[in-house]
Each structure stands twice: as structure tokens, then as C-alpha cells.
Amino acid sequence: MSAVSALFRTASKRSRFYATLELVPAAVLREIAAQLACGDVLRLGLTSRLMWDRCLGYLYEDVDLKTNRHCKMLAALARRPKVLRSIKRLAVRPNNVEWTLPEDEMNEGTFAELIHSRVAPNLASLHTFIWDGLQKPPCDELWLQLRRSCPRLTRIGTTIGAVEQLENGSHLFDFRGLHSFSLVVKCASLAWLTDGRPKIENLPRRLWEMLIENSPDLAQLTIGGAAPCPRPFDVRPIAYGRWPRLRSLTLGDLIMQHEPTKKDATIPPSLRAFLLAHPRLRAVNFQHIAGVGFPRTLASLPDTALPHIRTFSGPLLYVKTLPQPWRLRHLTLNGLQHSQSAFPKLFAVLRALTALESLSILFDLSLYTNVTRSLNPQDHTSVFCGLLRACPRLVHLDLLCFTQPTFGVCEFSAALILAPAPHLRSFVLTKVQAPMDDDMGYTAMQLAHTHPHLTNFTLRYTQDSWLTPTGARPKYVGTYVVRGNPGEGQTSTRTIEGHERGGGAKTFGFGGQYSRRWWAPISSDMKTPPSRRPSLLRKKSSASVAYFSARAPAHQPDIFPNTQSRIDREK
């Protein structure tokens, strides 16, 4: 009888706790939710119906459907009007090149029609819509429905394929008062390069009317695709635009010169006047490789130009000729760094950027290996050491190397020891998987143990080599978060949380995708790593979801004594 009484007393206490929690003002609850992980907010919302209604806006205000599997959730969202009314930003990315094999591509028109007929009418709070497919939305009425149903919609973005035409009468150009607009060219392969440089295309007149005449408060503008792009648009009319609030400008592989075959060493007067007329620009991204159709340098810009620029993307020569480059905090180099002679010049430019905090760079170390006629890991480590020494204040590093032969993660880790980067807190390493690479989870444990200053990092192993920063198809992706302060003494405990993903038929020998989450304490005594990475999935049943015990799978080393793992596999 005492056990029954205790049960009722516990239930009563729990009810009083939930009742008290429901009295918390909505503004305070939202502030609490902003400090929690999304999973914790979900658990909080499941405590009661009232809490669910209060947490709904935070859980669904930003919806990003990154894969075809995610895009299928549109049908479920269409049956929940209350959830749709909470969405403020919606990004739909069907046939994502990174996670979709050519044989697994789906009809993008199905998703576009679903948004047009069942989703858009309930998106009353939507202010941002992004369509990121391999082609433009097959249903052009989608834009008409969004414009009519979403009165707050001021930020739109769309993609266009390699052969589609942008019709001048498209409903896309009916928007007024836009704050952000993006038109990105997508292509699934680089096979078109064998036919030579494609012909120059003009953008529809109504697009320029929408941007220049009807959107005076434009703050962000993106046009074109990263080089090499199958559709070089003539964007010289952009020089007539004057947007006092413009903060971010991204121009892809486009035509900005009157004579696109002439390699002019100076910036065109129209582009020069445009940049001078927008002093509030904080982010400028040139995704073109300087030369044909674009100025080779920015040397003719006066020192007073772009006084507030903090983020820049472009070739190395642009960085060298940028007015007062020492102000840059975030830099993306879109030119391939591939030769032994190029690295000293690169390091010299980076040393002049004294305020640089974030760097993204594309390497090709295979040519470096061919020059030295050696596979000595010290050659690769020396390149990384030179990079870290040139940027001593770096907080984040995004390193991409899609070529073969590749390097091992251990060589990058060695560089972090030989050239300490005391301010580095995070990095993203994208590379082709090397035979010397250990299990991804064990590698993450080693990195977190060896470099206690890291707070989060991402490892991405690609399916095969790729020569551009975009379009690489990942084989494995691991995202890791390190918690705990290493400076709290010997008794302090540090843990690492990992989320590892993979997908595609090439990955496992049978179709499907997987997603695994685990956590583990960072041990001071590391066990010997496995020499090879065995298969991550072991087929236990015909069920679509395989559950593993709370202990680590057999192929993992014993450094995961408390690892919790769940592997989801989509057939």
C-alpha cells in the first residue's frame, strides 16, 4: 500500500511542477528555449499541450529540408496547418547533389506542386523562402501563391538548371519590396566543359525591374553560380542599382566587362562606381576566377572604398589588391592552391590580414606530392603548419581537399601540435578518405583529446575527387561538439558528442542512409586504434531501423564505454 501512495505522491508532485512551469511567461520561456538544444526544447514541449503550443514557434520557425528524405516531410507538414503557420523560414533542397546519387533523383515538380497547392496557403508567418533544386520550380504558379499567401515574404531565392530558360513573364518577377534575392545556377556534373566556354546569356528585363526599381531596400543579392558555371549571365545592368541598405553582394561566374575576351587589369568603371556607391557593404563574394569577363584585380579601387567590409570571397589576387585588406575577419579563397611555389605567396598575403578570424581554402596537395616525388607525411604537415603560422589569430578553419592522392587526418592533427593555434576553436576538414584514416569516431576522440582548445569540428570524407568547392558527394560526415573546460583541473570531465552520417549505395554495398549519434567521456588513456575501418552497419533484420545496445558496437574501440547509438537506415 505504501508503494501505491508513493506513486500517487510522485504523480502529484510532477503535476504541480508542470502546472508551475505553465505559469512561466511566454517571453521568458522563449528566452530559455533559445539557450537549449533543439532536442531539449522538443522534450520540454512534450510535457503538456500548452507547452507544446508555446514551443511550436521555436521548433518550426526555421525549416531546412536538406535531402529528398526530408522533402518528403512536406506531405506531413501539409496536414498540420498550425505547424505551417509557425514557419518563418522554409528552405527546400530536392535532389541535393551532396546526398543524392543520379539514380536516386526524384521529380522536383512533385514537391513544387505540393508547396503550391497545400503548403503555401498556410504559411502566414513566412518571411524567407529558398528553392534549392537542380532546376527552377517546375510549377511557376508557386511564386504567385507565395506572393498572395505570405504577406511578410521579403526574402526569396531560387536555382536554375543548365538548360532551362527564365521567362520574362514568370511570376517570380512580380515581387515588390524584397530585402534579399538569390538566383543560383546549378549543374549536376562538369561534362559541359568539353564543349568549351558556353555562350553569354542576358537575364530577363523584368528581373532588373524587380530589383532596381521595385526593391529599394534590398540588403542581400546573389546572382550566378560558382566557377566554372555552365551559364555565364551578363550582369552589367547591376551597375545601375543603388540600394542604400545593401550589406551582402555575391556575384558568380558572370560577365562584368564590355569586352569579355579581353583580360583587363583594371576594374570596369561601372563596377567601380557601383562599389563606391554602396559603402555599407560588409560581405562581398566574387565566385569568379579573375580573367575572362571579369577584372583581373581590384587595384583601381581607392583606399576609401568598402570601409565596412569584413567578409570577402574571391581569388588571391583580389585579396592582395583589396583596399585595406587588414580589416577582413572572414575570408574564402575560391582559387585552387595547388603548386609548391604558390604556398609562400599565399602565406605572405595571409600574414598581412592581422584581423582574420575565419578562413576557407581549397587545396590540391596531389600536385605538391608529384613535385616532391614523395608521399612523406611531413610534406603535407609543413603546408598546414605554414598556413596556421600565417594566421595566428584564426578561430575557425575550413579546409577542402578533393584530390587524390590525399593526406591523413593525423597529418593535420600533427600540424596543430607543431604550429599551435591558441585561438582556434573549430574547423571543417573535407577530403577524400585515405587508407591511413582510422575510424571516424576514434579520430574525433583523438582530436578532442590532443587539442583541448577545440569546441566543435566536422570531418567530411567524400566519395571521390572533385575539383570545385561545391558539389562534392560525401561518403561520411561527422559533426562533433566538445563540452567541458580543460582548465578546471585534473578532476574536470570533458565529453564529446558525435553525429555521424553517411549515404548512397557506394557507401555500404547496399542501398540506404544511416545516422548515428553518440557521446563519450574524453579519456586520458587512449586505446590502440583499429588498423582498418570495418563496415559501420551490420544488417540485423529487415526492419528499416536497427537498434544497438547501449554499449559500443563490436567494431568500435573501447574508448566508448558509455556510448549510446542509434542507426537509422533508409532503404
Confidence of residue 97 (pLDDT cuts 50, 70, 90): confident
- Specify the pLDDT at position 532: 35
Among 411, 490, 495, residue whose Cα is nearest residue 445: 495
- Specify the pLDDT at position 393: 94
Task: Write out the DSSP string of 335-397.
Answer: EEE-STTHHHHHHHHHHT-TT--EEEEEE-HHHHHHHHT---HHHHHHHHHHHHHH-TT-SEE
Buried/exposed 257-289: b ≥16 CB within 10 Å, e otherwise: beebeeeeeebbebbbebbeebeebbbbbbbbb
- Percentage of the chain with pLDDT > 90? 46
More confident residue, 154 or 372: 154
pTM as predicted: 0.83
**What one-letter code names the amino acid at 162?**
A
Confidence of residue 27 (pLDDT cuts 50, 70, 90): confident
Confidence of residue 338 (pLDDT cuts 50, 70, 90): low
CB 512 within 8 A of CB 535: no
- Specify the pLDDT at position 570: 37
- Specify the pLDDT at position 48: 81
pLDDT at 304 exceeding the cut of 60 = yes
Compute the distance between CA of residue 467 and CA of residue 471 in angstroms, rounded to an integer. Answer: 9
- Specify the pLDDT at position 136: 95
Compute the distance between CA of residue 178 and CA of residue 186 in angstroms, rounded to an integer. Answer: 23
SS3 content of the chain, % helix, strand, coil (to 5): 35, 20, 45
Other beta carbons within 10 Å of 454: 21
pLDDT in tens, 244-276: 999 999 998 888 876 544 455 677 888 899 999
CB 325 within 8 A of CB 331: no
Compute the distance between CA of residue 295 and CA of residue 475 in angstroms, rounded to an integer. Answer: 37
The mean of the pLDDT values for the chain is 80
- Specify the pLDDT at position 230: 86
pLDDT in tens, 414-450: 999 998 889 999 999 998 887 778 888 889 999 999 9
pLDDT in tens, 189-198: 777 777 777 8
pLDDT at 219 exceeding the cut of 80 = yes
Which triple of cell numbers denotes residue 394?
A: 584564426
- Specify the pLDDT at position 562: 33
Mean pLDDT within 221-243: 91
Q: Of 51-65, 233-247, 513-527, 531-545, which range is least confident? A: 531-545
Mean pLDDT within 457-482: 82
Mean pLDDT within 459-467: 79
- Specify the pLDDT at position 374: 46
The H-or-E segment that residue 26 falls in is: helix 26-34
pLDDT at 209 exceeding the cut of 90 = yes
- Specify the pLDDT at position 565: 31
- Specify the pLDDT at position 356: 97
pLDDT in tens, 60-84: 999 999 989 899 999 999 999 999 9
More confident residue, 568 or 450: 450
Mean pLDDT within 31-50: 83
pLDDT at 137 exceeding the cut of 90 = yes
Confidence of residue 349 (pLDDT cuts 50, 70, 90): very high
**What one-letter code names the amino acid at 40?**
D
